[in-house]
Amino acid sequence: MKTKIVTLLLVGVLASSCVQIKNEMNNNFDHTFAHVVYFWFKNPDSQADRATFEASLTKFLNSSQYAKTKFIGKPPKAIRDVVDDSFTYSLILSFESAEDQAAYQDEAAHKVFIEECEDFWEKVIVYDSQGIQQ
pLDDT tens per residue, range 86-103: 999 999 999 999 999 999
**Beta strands, E only, the chain:** 33-41, 70-73, 89-95, 121-130
**Residue 17 and residue 111: Cα distance in Å, rounded?**
39
Q: pLDDT by residue (tens digit) across 11-41?
A: 343 344 433 434 334 446 668 899 999 999 9
CATH T-level assignment (fold) for domain 31-130: Alpha-Beta Plaits (3.30.70)
**Residue 68 and residue 39: Cα distance in Å, rounded?**
20
Higher-pLDDT residue of 12 and 113 is 113
Annotate 36-65 with b (16+ C-beta within 10 A) or e (fewer).
Answer: ebbbebeebeeeebbeebeebbeebbeebe
Higher-pLDDT residue of 10 and 114 is 114
Confidence of residue 79 (pLDDT cuts 50, 70, 90): confident
**Residue 80 and residue 83: Cα distance in Å, rounded?**
6
Confidence of residue 9 (pLDDT cuts 50, 70, 90): very low
